Amino acid sequence: MMVSASDKRARRNGRMASLLFGAVLALGAAFPGKALADRSFERWVASFWPTAHAAGVSRATYDAALSGLTPDADTIRLMEKQSEFVKPIWDYLGSAVSDTRVETGRQMLKDYAEVLSRIERRFGVDKEVVLAVWGMETNYGSFKGEHYVVRALATLAYAAPRRQSFWQQELVTALLIIQAGHVRPADMEGSWAGAMGHTQFMPTSWKRFSADYDGDGRHDIWTNVPDALASTANYLKQHGWVSGKTWGYEVTLPRGFNYGLADGETTLSLAEWARHGVTRTGGRSFPRPDDRAELILPAGANGPAFLMLKNFFVIKRYNNANAYALAVGHLADRIRGGEPLRTAWPLNALPLSREQTVDLQNLLNRRGFSVGEADGMVGPATRRGIMAYQRAVGLVPDGYASVILLQAIRSDG
């Protein structure tokens, strides 16, 4: 028997109600002095009505979307989670660009051939890149999230310790989307943080970048695949996608390479990189030598190296992580028939957790290799400090923050 989305949600809400007492206790522990009991949440929902109304939300929409809701305990749990484990990029890419995902992407390329060709012509974004974003975000729509987006955003707008104005704006926008008839509340499912639909737009991103592929007046990224794919292409185009160009190249660095050029700030033409001895893997030439690129070493000098073009950084506007953008670009290449990466990953060069990065930064500062504030983030200043330390002790100055490096600096004190 088929079960509707609304029936599924009713069952989930029923299970939540039966576990409410335990959930309230858990939430109270997560926020000392601010227990999220139903009554306090109800008072917040009532107090937020003037804000929503001032933005154009009707009373009928507000009540239909928010009446009877309880806080989403899963949203609170995930918001507060601070994992110390950092997945190495080779593990991340192994799952993100798995053989199964590549094969499914190639099948989707056939299944949606006409739609994707029209989208590519309209927006100038490679159809394989659009598919790769879909594959990365929801595994081609197989898992779009199981949270009622309004409930998740209301929970964050009420309880998040930071950025409450951001969550409130997202909540209001979600209510306006429902009010305009673009999606039924029963279909507005997404992630614990409110990312929605096949390609996981936040409500304000939907407002700015969603597209109506079929001209029916709705921008339905939840149940209409063509609308979702067109919206993704429009998002990338509006953020500066350069038509007819790729995202980057896997490259080989020469012996004695100047790793100071891999500082996250140096951008050279491909012809200039070639003069520094940088070549494409497999002996192929760069098709457009005037294109400018930045060198990225995701796992240091002993792993794959990449020259990243502007489109790589456009992909990062979707998710601001090098690993994500690399996965999208590589998955797109594999979908169109490209080969796996040629250079092996250094499996022993594990990345640092945020806590370990703070430790490394403090150690570098104490030894005179200034990196600024120890904030747990590896930015340009930290990379420069790492490279200065590596040069001082005779290591390859690649600026890569690894467990091996941390162990070395701990032991030399």
Q: Is the pLDDT of residue 283 over 90?
A: no
Q: Is the pLDDT of residue 33 over 70?
A: no
The reported pLDDT for the residue numbered 23 is: 34
Q: Over range 220-232, report the average pLDDT.
A: 97
Closest CA to 205 of 319, 323, 357: 319
The reported pLDDT for the residue numbered 186 is: 84
The reported pLDDT for the residue numbered 343 is: 97
The reported pLDDT for the residue numbered 81 is: 66
The larger pLDDT score, comparing residue 64 to residue 86, is at 64
The reported pLDDT for the residue numbered 21 is: 29
Q: Is the pLDDT of residue 6 over 80?
A: no
Question: How many beta carbons lie within 10 A of that of residue 307, not counting itself?
Answer: 23
* Axis-axis angle for helices 127-138, 322-335 (nearest 10): 120
Q: Which helix (H) or strand (E) holds 44?
A: helix 38-54
- Mean pLDDT for the chain overall: 89
How far from each other are the two terminal CA atoms of the chain, in whole angstroms?
Answer: 67
pTM confidence score: 0.87
The reported pLDDT for the residue numbered 84 is: 55
Q: Is the pLDDT of residue 253 over 60?
A: yes
Question: Percent of the chain at pLDDT above 90?
Answer: 82
Q: Is the pLDDT of residue 123 over 90?
A: yes
Q: Over range 354-380, report the average pLDDT.
A: 95
Q: Which pair of structure tokens corresponds to residue 20? A: 């409410």
The reported pLDDT for the residue numbered 413 is: 66
CATH topology of domain 354-411: Muramoyl-pentapeptide Carboxypeptidase; domain 1 (1.10.101)
For the chain, the structural domain boundaries read 354-411
Ramachandran class of 282: left when φ > 0, alpha when ψ lies in -120 to 50, beta otherwise: left
The reported pLDDT for the residue numbered 44 is: 95
410, exposed or middle or buried, with CB in 10 Å at 0-12, 13-18, 19+? exposed
